[in-house]
């Protein structure tokens, strides 16, 4: 099937999202976020997220079908995020997808949340799918990946050993008394700051770190350095702190990703995940990739955070490749890594 009509469901965290694609063409992408319900707690509360998914699911599916101008009976296959993520949230999505698959007698594909983020890159019919280095940066994950085939061959070259980049943004935002989620708040504040004002550390970039952690990330030391600076400098300019912190994160992410591309002889870099919406990361990636002769591919702003389009896109690639569908009633896995691209 060269251009399957696929409905994808994403419920790994606090967005209830449904996307519909035909082949590599995006037809609909509807998202219902519960982020406002979590803001007063300074982070996502799993029980609240799960309840919000239950309440929103039927409406989001209906809205996506309406936007795509198709019916459930038109759908050729269903995809759903099976892990990693919050287990209660995942179960709402997998149960919904399983029920639809049974009722419609359509194949079901339980797919990996991390690979799905990268699959947004496939939603461009004029762009050839080619090997790339993937820089995945989100609230829970920071990884460098060698992507030979999105549907079947994604190799982890490095990952975070403590806080992910998005987690670091949230924690520093709290220290700066900014709103949740922290990423957009720091990005906005940093635009009026001096990114060279404070020399914050770049984790795992020293010579001694390279042998064991060449492409791994660590942001816990950076978080501690910012905290100590704020305590010791009562007169600190918050915008300068935000800009200098952001610069340290961006510098490490791009230095390691481009190093991996050079080492592997790969000329394309895909940046995906929620932090891919960061304006400084996008601008600096554009500049550095141009200097390195690397083709940069970043998702549209609306497809950086969790969404159903990415799940539908990956599922469509798997259907086209002839992958074996997932058995209805499969178990979600909250802690799964990229060693599991497709659930059986």
- Provide, rounded to the nearest whole percent, the portion of the chain with pLDDT above 90: 88
Q: Are residues 110 and 143 in the same domain?
A: no
More confident residue, 207 or 7: 7
3-state secondary structure of 127: coil
Q: What is the largest CA-CA distance in the chain?
A: 64
User: In this predicted structure, what is the pLDDT of residue 208?
Assistant: 84
In a domain, 340, yes or no: no
Residue 277 DSSP one-character state: G
User: In this predicted structure, what is the pLDDT of residue 300?
Assistant: 93
Are 75 and 69 spatial neighbours (Cβ–Cβ below 8 Å)?
no
Q: Are residues 226 and 183 in the same domain?
A: yes
Q: Are residues 66 and 176 in the same domain?
A: no
User: In this predicted structure, what is the pLDDT of residue 134?
Assistant: 97
Q: Are residues 149 and 281 in the same domain?
A: yes
Helix axes 182-190, 165-175, angle to 10 degrees: 70
In a domain, 344, yes or no: no
User: In this predicted structure, what is the pLDDT of residue 122?
Assistant: 94
Q: Are residues 9 and 81 in the same domain?
A: yes
Q: Are residues 312 and 287 in the same domain?
A: no
Residue 137 tokens read as 């940066």
CA atoms within 13 A on the CB side of 39: 12
Other C-beta atoms lying within 10 Å of the C-beta of residue 30: 23
- What is the rounded average pLDDT of the residues 100-107? 97
Residues spanned by the domain of 36: 5-123+304-321
Write out the H or E segment, with its range, that includes residue 144: strand 142-149
In a domain, 339, yes or no: no
Are 18 and 8 spatial neighbours (Cβ–Cβ below 8 Å)?
yes
Q: Indicate which CATH number applies to the domain containing 108.
A: 3.30.420.40
Nearest CA to 336 among 111, 91, 164? Answer: 111
User: In this predicted structure, what is the pLDDT of residue 43?
Assistant: 79
In a domain, 96, yes or no: yes
pLDDT digit string, tens, across residues 148-181? 999 999 999 999 999 889 999 999 999 999 998 9
User: In this predicted structure, what is the pLDDT of residue 76?
Assistant: 98
Q: Are residues 170 and 230 in the same domain?
A: yes
User: In this predicted structure, what is the pLDDT of residue 116?
Assistant: 96
| Residue 141: pLDDT band with limits 50, 70, 90 | confident
Q: Of 72-81, 132-141, 303-312, give the lowest mean pLDDT range.
A: 132-141
- What is the rounded average pLDDT of the residues 306-310? 97
Are 178 and 233 spatial neighbours (Cβ–Cβ below 8 Å)?
no
Q: Are residues 262 and 193 in the same domain?
A: yes
| Residue 207: pLDDT band with limits 50, 70, 90 | confident
Give Cα separations from 127 to 124, 130, 184, 297, 321 (angstroms): 6, 9, 29, 10, 17
User: In this predicted structure, what is the pLDDT of residue 140?
Assistant: 82
pLDDT digit string, tens, across residues 210-234? 788 999 999 999 999 999 999 999 9
Q: Are residues 271 and 316 in the same domain?
A: no
Q: Is the pLDDT of residue 75 over 90?
A: yes
| Degrees to nearest 5, angle at CA 84 with 75 and 138 | 100
Q: Is the pLDDT of residue 238 over 90?
A: yes
Q: Are residues 88 and 204 in the same domain?
A: no
pLDDT digit string, tens, across residues 12-69? 999 999 999 999 999 999 999 987 888 778 878 989 999 999 999 999 999 999 999 9
What residues contact 39, with CB distance under 8 A and at least 6 apart?
179, 180
For the chain, the domain total comes to 2
pTM of the entire predicted model:
0.94
User: In this predicted structure, what is the pLDDT of residue 22?
Assistant: 98
Q: Are residues 52 and 136 in the same domain?
A: no
In a domain, 28, yes or no: yes
Q: Are residues 246 and 274 in the same domain?
A: yes
Residue 157 tokens read as 């070259």
Q: DSSP string covering 30-87, please?
A: EEEE-HHHHGGGTS--HHHHHHHHHHHHHHHHHHHHHHHT--GGG--EEEEEEESS-H
| Residue 269: pLDDT band with limits 50, 70, 90 | very high
């Amino acid at each position: 099937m060269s251009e399957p009509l696929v409905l994808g469901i994403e419920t790994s965290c606090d967005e209830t999202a449904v996307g519909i694609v035909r082949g590599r063409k995006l037809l609909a992408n509807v998202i219902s976020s519960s982020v406002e319900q979590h803001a007063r707690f300074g982070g996502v509360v799993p029980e609240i997220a799960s309840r919000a998914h239950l309440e929103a699911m039927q409406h989001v599916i209906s809205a996506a079908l309406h936007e795509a101008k198709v019916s459930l009976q038109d759908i050729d296959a269903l995809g759903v995020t099976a892990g990693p993520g919050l287990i209660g949230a995942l179960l709402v999505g997998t149960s919904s997808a399983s029920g639809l698959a049974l009722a419609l007698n359509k194949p079901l594909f339980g797919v990996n949340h991390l690979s799905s983020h990268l699959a947004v890159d496939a939603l461009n019919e004029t762009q050839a799918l080619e090997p790339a280095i993937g820089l995945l940066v989100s609230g829970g994950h920071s990884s460098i990946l060698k992507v030979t085939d999105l549907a079947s061959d994604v190799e982890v070259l490095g990952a975070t050993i403590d806080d992910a980049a998005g987690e670091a943004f949230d924690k520093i935002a709290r220290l700066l008394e900014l709103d949740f989620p922290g990423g957009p708040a720091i990005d906005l504040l940093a635009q009026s700051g001096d990114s060279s004002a404070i020399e914050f550390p770049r984790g795992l970039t020293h010579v001694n770190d390279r042998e064991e952690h060449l492409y791994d990330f660590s942001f816990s030391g950076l978080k501690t350095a910012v905290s100590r600076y704020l305590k010791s400098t009562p007169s600190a300019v918050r915008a300068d702190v935000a800009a200098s912190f952001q610069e340290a994160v961006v510098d490490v992410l791009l230095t390691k990703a481009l190093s991996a591309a050079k080492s592997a002889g790969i000329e394309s870099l895909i940046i995906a995940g929620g932090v891919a919406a960061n304006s400084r990361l996008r601008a600096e990636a554009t500049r550095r990739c141009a200097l390195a002769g690397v083709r940069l591919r970043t998702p549209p702003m609306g497809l950086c955070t969790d969404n159903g389009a990415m799940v539908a896109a990956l599922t469509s690639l798997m259907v086209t490749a002839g992958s074996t569908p997932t058995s209805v009633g499969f178990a979600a896995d909250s802690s799964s890594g990229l060693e599991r691209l497709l659930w059986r």
